Amino acid sequence: MASAAMGALAAGASAGDTGAVKAYAKNLGLAFQIVDDLIDAVGRSGEAGKDVGQDLKKTTFVSFSGVDGAVQLARELAQASQEALRPFGARARALRDLALYVVARRR
């Protein structure tokens, strides 16, 4: 979040816009981690681009919420990240698309 906020501040963003960028980064970062946990739990090594099953004995979003719960939470967080960008309108399209990519990725 801090790096996103610093980028916004360096670009001359207002406090409100910086807050929106921080909300986007927080939600997207959590969604990314959940998808990473899902890939580790249910992915295949050849498709995932990494060894899977490494986190089976660790506390993860999947171990806490189950696969379906983790999928739903990742989607909700990606949606929240997109909504945080509403003040930026069409200028933030690439960032909104990134949120879609994060929850659709398999690697």
pLDDT at 16: 94
Number of H helices, E strands in the chain: 5, 0
pLDDT at 41: 92
Chain centroid, CA 27 distance in Å: 6
pLDDT single digits (tens) 9-67: 999 999 999 999 999 999 999 999 999 999 999 987 777 677 788 888 899 999 999 99
**Please, are residues 52 and 39 in contact by the beta-carbon 8 Å criterion?**
yes
Enumerate the domain spans of the chain. Answer: 2-104
**Please, are residues 34 and 26 in contact by the beta-carbon 8 Å criterion?**
no
pLDDT at 48: 67
